[in-house]
Amino acid sequence: MKPVRIHGIGVAGGFGTGRQAFEKALESGLPPPSLRVDLAALEAFQPARTLRRMDSFSRLALLGAHLALEDAGLEPKGQDGLGLIIASGHGATVTTAHALLDSMLAGDAFTSPIHFANSMHNACAANISLLMGATGPNLTVSQFDLSVPSALLTAHRWLREGRVERLLFGAVDEHSDLLEHLWRRQRGESQDPMRPLATRVESARPGEGAAFFLLSTKEETAPVYAAFESVTVGRGAPVIPSSPLRVLGADGRVELGKTYGAMAEGARIACFTPHYGSFPASPAFDMAAAALMLRRGHAFASPQGEANDTESTVLAADEALGTQGLSCLTWVPEGFGVVDLAISA
């Protein structure tokens, strides 16, 4: 079977817009002061009129999609046969809340048809496919914190089965007033920096962003970042990967600290969540950071890595990775996801 490779990375988060901005943030080791995304960069790709009926969630995803295609050297139109899979834990919360509130407060007759259409599960994927002429299959996967590994499992299978040769895989979640309200009720407000490797204290901060990847089994002209070894999703006790190099999806939520500690045991680890925050799509950013590390052959520093209280060694800035692959780990009480990436031949 042909290997599945990453040829393009498009990311937007609090750190800025684009792969270069993300790399710069990772190299600096300094998380951004704000974890919100500025969508202004989308104007460089699409005229405002085209975006008129597209909500903020779709715009965020569209920005990531454009950036990934640009990074892979592909045109954002006429993408015949391109598949698209989107992972999102929350979906279009701003639009959905708007549509539901209109309906509940004023009746169904007052529900905006545009908000209603944008609140549909696959609307964002449809918007992107239409704009880019992506005629391959498209799908949206929502499984809260496990959305990314679950969607990636399907993406990997489509590519391995030859159902598509190229696929745009994206993870997106937006923050909103509704989510902020729920976050504060559950976790309070914290101005402290995220310290995800200090597993016994709560330090999570809500983030948002889009991380897209151009995945392909074809020989592409764009350089390869990394190749997939395997994608595993399961329930119960997590499968501890054989690779001693691990990128943890720990995000400062204290209830997850113990298991991330177990996953880190004896390994050389990295954790980058302070650069983008805590949200269901964040494992895709872990994967982007891992792919960038594999291509450069050296590690990035983990922000607040000195706070590590697990039985592990935190990879130092610019530490050589050798020829081993990297495992990206996500764990929540509902299950786990492991994405094994390798240096591409």
List of residues contacting another protein (CB under 8 A): 48-49, 51-53, 106, 109-114
Contacts of 269 (CB under 8 A, 6+ apart): 197, 245, 246, 247, 248, 302, 308, 310, 312, 313, 314, 315
Q: How far is the CB of 78 from another protein (least distance, A)?
A: 24
In total, the chain counts a number of residues equal to 345
Closest to another protein by CB, 53 vs 184, is: 53
Q: How far is the CB of 31 from another protein (least distance, A)?
A: 33
Closest to another protein by CB, 112 vs 232, is: 112
Closest to another protein by CB, 99 vs 267, is: 99
Closest to another protein by CB, 109 vs 345, is: 109
Closest to another protein by CB, 117 vs 316, is: 117
Whether residue 208 contacts residue 63, with contact meaning beta carbons closer than 8 Å, is answered with no
Instruction: Indicate the pairing of strand 245-248 with strand 268-270.
Output: parallel
Q: How far is the CB of 100 from another protein (least distance, A)?
A: 15
Q: How far is the CB of 91 from another protein (least distance, A)?
A: 20
Closest to another protein by CB, 51 vs 125, is: 51
Contacts of 252 (CB under 8 A, 6+ apart): 194, 195, 196, 202, 203, 204, 205, 273, 278
Q: What are 126's two structure tokens?
A: 């449809």
CA angle 233/237/238 to nearest 5° reads: 45
**Nearest CA-CA partner of 147 in 249, 291, 263:** 249
Report CA-CA distances (Å) from 180 to 9, 36, 176, 205.
Answer: 28, 12, 6, 10
Rg, Å, the chain Cα set: 19
Q: How far is the CB of 221 from another protein (least distance, A)?
A: 38
Q: How far is the CB of 64 from another protein (least distance, A)?
A: 21
